[in-house]
Amino acid sequence: MEKAENKQNFTVPIIVMFLLFFMIAFVTNFAGSMGVIVTNQFGASKALSQLGTLANFIAYACMGIPAGIILKRKGYKFTSLLAVTVGFIGVGIQFISGYAESFLVYVLGAFVAGFSMCLLNIVVNPMLNTLGGGGNRGNQLIQFGGSCNSIGGTLAPIILGYLIGGQMDTASVGDAAPAMLAAMAIFAVAFGVVMVSKIPEPHIQTPEQRAAEKANKDPHGPMSFRHFVLGAIAIFFYVGVEVGIPNTANLYMSNNPLVGPAVAGTIVGFYWLCMMFGRLIGGAVGGKVSSKVMLSTVSSLAIVMLLCIMFFPETWTVAVAGKAVPVSMAIMFLCGLMTSVMWGAIFNLAAEGLGKYTPAASGIFMALVCGGGILPFFQNLLADHTNYLISYIVPIIGLAYILFYALIGSKNVNKDIVTE
């Protein structure tokens, strides 16, 4: 009876964690979709239009490891409150940028919001597991949270495309104001709920434990394993590929007068929807197919798809909502099926045999999520000097490395290191 009561007591904070899962993808993908607006309102080039995404993801490089330390020393509640506060401020700064007519203010807001997304990524998974009591129930809550994350990623470009409408030349930050205010409201509600909720804190590190850890410093770590180092690089490329494919497609279609921002946002939304379906399929077959086979297969297929995007004639079109959309962009959203399972496969291969070093490896992985800002920036820098379609050579290079990792780089050659 007491156990059931405890579960009931955690219902509201669990719902809030689901909302925060939603917000991680919504705010992150919102930064990519905002490239359409800053191109028009601030006259940004293709590369500069990705500065918001770059700033958002560079925050991961700055905060990935410190966020893990904060969580370990301060616990779930403090870290959650810090994350939603920073998120509120970051989105608020972006909201102000439209009225200040300042591109730098917008980029600053995206950078601050990136700190929040990093903190949330660190805290929501283990916190949901704890609120669920661990075990199957905890895992179930995390899977539900992942679904909320995919929904947020899907809706961000669709909503922004709808708010902009069909006219690229009048797009401004003010058009996105309703979505930004809604995001700030969710952060504010989340702060209030977490503040008054009693959250279990089973993993806070005591001063004595920190002293013991410092006294018994291990000469090894995750960076001592070659397959982990190569896997961390693969994560860097993977997130860049995952973000660069739809972000560049959104700019390409939005600047095409035959398509426009509204239809472009919807098609890009389908990319993220395909990622959700891909994760469900990956979960269903994951017990029967090895991570190595899965990763090598999807990376190979993704390379073929991107080559089709690059070389299919732009005159080949298909009608979508009355607009003539290039066939290559229909292939683009199907790439979401391929990228959907890459994170899990890379993580499994890179964490294989790490044992006690796995938690530290997770922090390093989170820092290298910054690839999601760096690769799209260079992809669009190339687009400035060539065109949008040729720029897809950048994610192809990233996928080629991921394929190399799946086939060769993922082998553990450091089995002599004690990991227990």
CA 78 to chain centre: 23
Residue 316 φ then ψ, to 5°: -80, 110
Rounding to the nearest 10 degrees, give the CA dihedral for residues 179, 388, 382, 24: 30
The reported pLDDT for the residue numbered 395 is 96
The reported pLDDT for the residue numbered 213 is 63
Give the residue from 248, 277, 230, 250 showing the smallest Cα distance to 407.
Answer: 230
Given pLDDT bands bounded at 50, 70 and 90, which one contains residue 150?
confident
Give the residue from 198, 181, 177, 210 showing the smallest Cα distance to 88.
Answer: 181
To the nearest whole percent, how much of the chain has pLDDT over 70? 90
More confident residue, 260 or 6: 260
Rounding to the nearest 10 degrees, give the CA dihedral for residues 372, 375, 377, 383: -140
CATH classification (class only), 1-201: mainly alpha
The reported pLDDT for the residue numbered 1 is 42
Residue 297 pLDDT > 60: yes
The reported pLDDT for the residue numbered 338 is 94
- CA dist 410 and 44 (Å) reads 40
What pLDDT digit, counting tens, does each position of 307-319 carry?
Answer: 999 999 988 988 8
The reported pLDDT for the residue numbered 2 is 44
Q: What average pLDDT does range 83-98 have in this prediction? A: 92
Tokens of 194: 């977490």
E strand or H helix at 165: none
* Two domains, one topology: 1-201 and 222-414: yes
Residue 114 pLDDT > 70: yes
Tokens of 238: 């993977």
Partnered with residue 323 across adjacent β-strands are: 320
Q: Check if the beta carbon of residue 278 is closer than 8 Å to that of residue 340.
A: yes
Q: Which of 92-106, 128-142, 315-329, 393-407 has the lowest mean pLDDT?
A: 128-142
The reported pLDDT for the residue numbered 4 is 44
Q: What average pLDDT does range 145-162 have in this prediction? A: 84
Number of H helices, E strands in the chain: 16, 2
What pLDDT digit, counting tens, does each position of 263-291 carry?
Answer: 888 888 889 889 888 888 887 787 788 88
What pLDDT digit, counting tens, does each position of 343-369 carry?
Answer: 888 988 888 888 777 767 777 888 898
The reported pLDDT for the residue numbered 420 is 67
More confident residue, 234 or 141: 234
Mean pLDDT of the chain: 84
What pLDDT digit, counting tens, does each position of 41-89 carry?
Answer: 788 888 888 888 888 889 888 888 888 788 778 888 898 899 999 999 9
Q: Which of 129-133, 201-205, 353-357 has the lowest mean pLDDT?
A: 201-205
What's the one-letter identity of residue 295?
L
More confident residue, 7 or 414: 414
Residue 318 φ then ψ, to 5°: -135, 145
Tokens of 320: 């979508």
Residue 111 pLDDT > 50: yes
Tokens of 121: 């990524």
- CA dist 317 and 329 (Å) reads 9
The CATH H-level (homologous superfamily) assignment of domain 222-414 is MFS general substrate transporter like domains (1.20.1250.20)
The reported pLDDT for the residue numbered 62 is 87
Q: Check if the beta carbon of residue 392 is closer than 8 Å to that of residue 379.
A: yes
The reported pLDDT for the residue numbered 168 is 60
Residue 247 pLDDT > 60: yes
Show the CA angle centred on residue 352, arms to residues 346 and 354, nearest 5°: 120
Q: Where are the domains of the chain?
A: 1-201, 222-414
Give the residue from 363, 386, 379 showing the smallest Cα distance to 228.
Answer: 363
